[in-house]
Structure 1
């Protein structure tokens, strides 16, 4: 069987890096890794996969640091998600995020033989402090980006509108990043949009059919462990990705 794609590169921030899906040996997995596994299973032969995403990156640095190195790898499939860290800042220009995303897509489409997938991130807003503001901004961003890109030959995956993903069962303890179940569902959404079979052993549909989890409470311990450190980084101009490099900067066979 011929692989639909044989050289896959992922761009983005913590969502694409896979933060929240931690393997027993401490490695970070995530939905892009699942997508690569699904593509390889469909192909029945090894494919190359690189992941240039770094947690904490706003859209500007994603474009400046990741786009051209990704294109230099000559992929035939590129996935992109960005802007989530921008909408979490006190001030954000949604129009600028949309315009820069469209520019990135058009630059990528200049690459012969490259198919581009643009994802809206999953929606954590119902579980977070000040979630209403994130919901409003996320709605605006997802709608504007997907609308702007509809005339282009890209595959659009709207995880933000996936109500199943909003359930607390799909989120890690920090409630901002997906857990393994959430990342597997996002990968399922991507593979389905590409017309690639989702491996049955992932159990994505069985998990979704199992019913919703109870709504969680944000305790004082949660604020101490997750919210206050996040505020501290914002105040001091630091990022969780400072000093980090991409976990998979070159095309390697899927493990």
Structure 2
């Protein structure tokens, strides 16, 4: 066996493929030097894998706003063709937010996807969803999210997947772990999640979060001002997109559509600097 029991031996080809939506694309962790203007936890995991054991290749097929059916139709076959040895999957979060979703049908489709990925023999990492405290308007969706999380836990056990139980992470109760839209992780959130994934895989790293002072108390006036800004900047545009039948991911391509060899030093930013056209 190699140094890390959940990962391939040193003399085997090592390919990490990340599947999903904005969660895995990296939305909220901005980086002008990287594809789609974001970095994210998956990029950070790929870089630490390469630093621990040179030779890792990495592809990220995730695109924001994608529903489970899109991930199955657009990402599954390309991922299988890459013969991955490590796969991460988060899918279904956007479906949970769609009012017409039948959670039982959704989870049956999710299991079919997990079964296909597990059959590759790759190490498979699955995630539960966090109970984001966005607005009382979304509280009725909590039951659907609870069903999703329980089924993901069951399927991780059934198919021998590594489970990153995101729902349990107390650190994400701090609002500074979230971007201004309150739905996507901030840079700090993505760093924390990358550390969790690496810990679950047994890969050494030195990712740490800075020590924060306790959150300052917010006055009622400041709270109202933030609420108005959030509604104006995020809620109204989201409703408008839904009415028009468009999403933020419609004109985007996968950030890393083909496996790239991750430099041990300098990471993916170095790769972009040396090969701007990829």
Whether these two folds match at TM > 0.5 is yes
Once the 2 structures are TM-superposed, how far is the Cα of residue 56 of structure 1 from its aligned partner? 0.4
**Which of 166, 172, 197 is 2:173 aligned to?**
166
**Cα–Cα, structure 1 residues 38 and 182, in superposed 2: closer, same or farther, change >3 Å?**
same
**Which of 242, 250, 253 is 2:258 aligned to?**
250
Once the 2 structures are TM-superposed, how far is the Cα of residue 153 of structure 1 from its aligned partner? 1.2
Asked if 1 retains the 8 angstrom alpha-carbon contact of 2:86 and 2:122, the reply is: yes
Give the aligned CA root-mean-square deviation in angstroms: 2.0
| TM-score calculated relative to the size of structure 2 | 0.82
Structure 2 residues not aligned, in runs of 5+: 9-13, 263-267, 269-278
Asked if 1 retains the 8 angstrom alpha-carbon contact of 2:127 and 2:164, the reply is: yes
The aligned counterpart of 1:60 is 69
Q: How does 1:138-157 map onto structure 2 within 5 Å?
A: 138-157=145-164
Aligned residue pair count: 247
SS, match of residue 87 in structure 1: helix
The aligned counterpart of 1:189 is 196
The aligned counterpart of 1:114 is 122
**Which of 208, 216, 225 is 1:203 aligned to?**
208
Once the 2 structures are TM-superposed, how far is the Cα of residue 77 of structure 1 from its aligned partner? 0.4
Asked if 2 retains the 8 angstrom alpha-carbon contact of 1:167 and 1:212, the reply is: no
SS, match of residue 91 in structure 1: coil
Moved over 4 A (4+): none
Mapped pair 1:42 → 2:52: yes
SS, match of residue 160 in structure 2: coil
Asked if 2 retains the 8 angstrom alpha-carbon contact of 1:15 and 1:121, the reply is: no
Once the 2 structures are TM-superposed, how far is the Cα of residue 129 of structure 1 from its aligned partner? 5.1
**Cα–Cα, structure 1 residues 215 and 225, in superposed 2: closer, same or farther, change >3 Å?**
farther
Mapped pair 1:78 → 2:82: no
Larger radius of gyration: 2
**Which of 4, 24, 31 is 1:16 aligned to?**
24
1-side partners of 2:159 and 2:213: how far apart? 37
Once the 2 structures are TM-superposed, how far is the Cα of residue 162 of structure 1 from its aligned partner? 1.2
The aligned counterpart of 1:91 is 100
**Cα–Cα, structure 1 residues 187 and 221, in superposed 2: closer, same or farther, change >3 Å?**
same
Q: Deviations over 1:104-159 (max 9, x none)?
A: 11111222x411111123332x1335242343322221112212331221111111
1-side partners of 2:45 and 2:130: how far apart? 16
Asked if 2 retains the 8 angstrom alpha-carbon contact of 1:168 and 1:215, the reply is: no
2-side partners of 1:63 and 1:116: how far apart? 16
Structure 1 residues not aligned, in runs of 5+: none
Asked if 2 retains the 8 angstrom alpha-carbon contact of 1:122 and 1:166, the reply is: no
2-side partners of 1:222 and 1:235: how far apart? 19
